[in-house]
Amino acid sequence: MQLWAVLQKDFQLSWRMRGQAAAVFAFGATALMMLGFAAGPDARALRQGAAGFLWVALVFGSVLALAESFHHEHARRGLEGLALLPTRPWALFVSKALANAALLSVLGLALIPVMALFCDTTPSRLVELAAIVALGAAGLAAPGTFYAAMTSQTRGAQVLLPLLLLPLVAPVLLAASRATSLLLLGDPMGQVGSWAGLLAAFNLVFWPLGALLFGALLEE
């Protein structure tokens, strides 16, 4: 019940921030277009780099989205108020991380047509591609939510968050971009499942770990 109530609050907040979500999408799409232009007019190079471009654009957009998710909480002292209620810290973390994962999943799916347009590729196996985007978004959201909460009241939070987050999520970016590339270019050896399994393993480690440590973070 606690998780459901907090989850409703976080999704309502995400809906009210949809204008900022559109700005994050515009930023990610611009980054994706710039990467495509930097690769030059070689269609083969564009297709080979499409998956990497997609995930670089998504991770840049995710830093903005994650930082904003706690900026509004602290601006209105919402998190402090929730901490005073008989709500378990793990519920606060899981709720915020789920809302962030949903936002990043929508952002990733919205960037796929942009990638197809500027990288001269036609995505197939769309259901599997959506699953990889969802797994990758969850892998970014769990540690990203924890670090966004940690840095939200520090000086230079916009600089500190990517410095902490990007080295930690390097396995997510590697596995997600590799799985996406195989789905776009072909997977004759059936390796997509192994990369998806690595993403799932990362999530199985960092979601429970974030929920476990979030209480200590709130106390600080």
Residue ranges of the domains in the chain? 2-219
Mean pLDDT of 113-131: 84
- What pLDDT sits at residue 60? 87
Which of 54-58, 81-85, 92-96, 119-123 is predicted with the least confidence, judged by mean pLDDT? 81-85
pLDDT in tens, 35-85: 878 777 777 878 888 888 999 999 988 888 887 777 666 655 555 555 565
Instruction: List Cβ<8 Å contacts ≥24 apart for 144-148.
Output: 144/62, 144/63, 144/66, 144/100, 144/169, 145/66, 145/69, 145/93, 145/96, 145/97, 145/100, 145/210, 146/93, 146/210, 146/213, 146/214, 146/217, 147/66, 148/66, 148/67, 148/69, 148/70
Q: Which residues of 38-54 are buried (b: 16+ CB within 10 A; e: fewer)?
A: ebeeeeeebbbbbbbbb
- What pLDDT sits at residue 201? 95
- What is the value of pTM for the model shown? 0.85
Helix axes 157-168, 126-151, angle to 10 degrees: 130
Which tokens hold the place of 212?
């476990």
- What pLDDT sits at residue 40? 73
CA torsion sign for 54, 56, 57, 61 is positive
DSSP per residue, 21-64: HHHHHHHHHHHHHHHHHHH-S-HHHHHHHHHHHHHHHHHHHHHH
Task: Give the number of other Cβ atoms within 10 Å of residue 10's Cβ.
Answer: 21
d(CA 134, CA 208): 18
- Confidence band for 205, pLDDT divided at 50, 70 and 90: very high
